[in-house]
Amino acid sequence: MRALLTGCLLALALTVPAAASEQHPTPAELESELICPVCETTLDTSSAPIALRMKARIRQRIAAGATKSEIKAEFVEDFGNRVLAVPPKRGFDLLAWLLPLVGLAVATAIVGLLSWRWSRRGRPVEPVRPLDPDLERRLDAELARFE
């Protein structure tokens, strides 16, 4: 019971910074989550004129007291979902989250199956026959020359 209570308190403590980030976002935080429509890089790495205007708008909206989700929603309204660095986890965009996981699961299953089959397909090992004594002497003599 004590461990459960500790876990719940820890989870609650971790949600406080997330809520603070939502209410009081920083420009750097938003600039890393939005993409420049011209160069298709995040705003924090872009110096395109439209990116500079978007950065200025972010600062204005933060100064006006807008929340992180409100600011992002305004940019999505203007530019569409392609302005988001991380696609939303709903609708058709959910495929961007699920397909890599499904691909990884399928690839892991295929590799596992092939490994299992290859490990079961062992060829019988032929017993090693001893060398002819005369051939063994000649081989030892040749090897002794290189030592």
Q: What is the pLDDT of residues 77-86, one digit of tens each?
A: 999 888 988 8
CATH architecture of residue range(s) 22-86? Orthogonal Bundle (1.10)
The domain limits of the chain are 22-86
**How many C-alpha atoms does 110 have within 13 Å on its Cβ side?**
6
- In tens, the pLDDT along 87-120 reads 777 777 778 778 899 999 999 999 999 998 888 7
In one-letter notation, the amino acid at residue 132 is D
pTM over 0.75? The answer is: no
Once rounded to an integer, what is the mean pLDDT over residues 41-49?
A: 90
Cβ atoms of 29 and 75 closer than 8 Å: no
Does residue 146 surpass a pLDDT of 90?
A: no
Of 89, 99, 78, 65, nearest to 34 (Cα)?
78
Mean local confidence (pLDDT), 68-79: 91
* φ/ψ of residue 9, rounded to 5: -65, -40
Residue 9 has pLDDT above 90, yes or no: no
pLDDT of residue 17: 52
Ranges 22-31, 36-45, 61-70, 82-91: which has the least confidence: 82-91
Written as six digits, the tokens of 72 are 């992002």
User: pLDDT at residue 46 above 70?
Assistant: yes
Does the pLDDT of residue 10 top 70, yes or no?
no
Give the model's pLDDT for residue 2.
75
Q: Tell me what the mean pLDDT of segment 25-37 comes to.
A: 90
